[in-house]
Amino acid sequence: MSAASPSSPPDDISPPSAAAAAPVPATLAPHQTPAAQAAAAVTLSRIGFGLLTVVTVVTLVSTIALWQKVSGMKEQLARQSADAIAQSMEARTLARQASDTVRDAAARVALIESRVAEVALQRSQLEELIQSLSRSRDENLVVDIESAVRLALQQAQVTGSVEPLLAALKAGDLRIARAAQPRLAPLQRAMQRDADRLRSSASTDGAEALQKLDELMRNVDDLPTLNAVAVRGTGLNAWQAEPIPADAPWWRRVLLTLRGEARSLVRVGRIQSPEAVLLAPEQSYFLRENLKLKLLNARLSLLSRQVDATRTELTQVTAALNRYFDPASRRTQAAATLLQQLQQQVRSTEPARIDDTLAALATAAAGR
């Protein structure tokens, strides 16, 4: 710098502050010469210049040091600023990545939650399906048993035989035993009770009734009518002549013969049903055939388990037997006895009933 150059003349320097700061002797010797005074002034000026130079150098050094320090601080600040900017950008990038990661994590969590919900739903549906399969197996078993029992019941009502119904109850009992379901135990007990009741009430009444009807139809042709002349007997139509003893005298034989002829010409009796007495001989054939048809209708009604129709037909046969046929004849009496027995059997015959089994099937089908 030009201010600190040592080659500058001392006259050009005007340091008023340095001259003021330099120590000035309090008094000058009056005996000093102007040359000495000039030399002293030069010395003083040199001393002041040196001091000024020192101060300037120190100031310059301190300024240089301060500048270097400030430059270092600027460089440090620049580096810190650059580092801060880099860190900020890195932080922003990391924040963006973290945001993306959080978003992806949220999406994955939502997807996992949805899958967990689907799995839970599928599990509940699977449990319901397993329960429904278990229930449906029992329900199918109950439905199969019910259909088989009802079909066997219809067969028993049509044919009059309880064997199909007993077979259906036994098969249902075996299926329930193999299934081993405690819920179907009441149904099994009900089926066993109905089977025991059917076995105890099963009889041959139907077969006996059919046999009696067949016997009646075979004996219809041999039944004597009221308007027929009986060859033997002591009833209302007993009009035969008295037997003539072989050892009787001739006059007695003649009298007995004349009396028999007279009695055969005239009949005396009480008529309770005029239409039976007035029945023409050729109409007896149609009467017997009509009676056979009524007995055949009674047989068909009995086979079809129509109790009311069977009773009606038997009542009509009994009325025709009492009206048109001789009640004193043993054959007529035997036929009347058979008809009475048939009516009693038909009254006592009841259709097969399995009320306990049907009620238990309804309860099992309802799921209780």
Give the model's pLDDT for residue 278.
Answer: 59
Residue 231 CA to its chain's centroid (Å)? 80
**Average pLDDT estimate for 259-287:** 66
Give the model's pLDDT for residue 272.
Answer: 60
Look at residue 182 and tell me whether its pLDDT is greater than 50: yes
pLDDT band of 6, cuts 50, 70, 90: very low
Give the model's pLDDT for residue 215.
Answer: 87
Q: What is the mean pLDDT of the chain?
A: 76
Residue 170 CA to its chain's centroid (Å)? 26
Look at residue 364 and tell me whether its pLDDT is greater than 60: yes
Give the model's pLDDT for residue 268.
Answer: 57
Q: Which runs of consecutive H residues, i.e. helices, occur in 183-329?
A: 185-201, 205-219, 250-265, 274-277, 283-303, 307-324
Q: Tell me the per-residue pLDDT of 346-363, one tens digit each, with 9 for 90 and over.
A: 765 566 678 788 888 888
How many residues belong to the chain? 368
Q: Tell me the per-residue pLDDT of 203-252, one tens digit each, with 9 for 90 and over.
A: 545 667 778 888 888 888 888 877 665 444 444 444 455 567 777 788 88
pLDDT greater at residue 240 or residue 187: 187
Give the model's pLDDT for residue 271.
Answer: 56
Model confidence, pTM: 0.41
**Average pLDDT estimate for 280-297:** 83
Angle at 148 between CA 145 and CA 153, to 5 degrees: 120
Integer Rg of the chain from CA:
73
List the chain domain ranges: 1-24+33-128, 129-202+356-365, 231-272
Look at residue 164 and tell me whether its pLDDT is greater than 70: yes
Question: Percentage of residues in the chain with pLDDT exceeding 70?
Answer: 73
Give φ, ψ of 121 to 5 degrees.
-65, -45
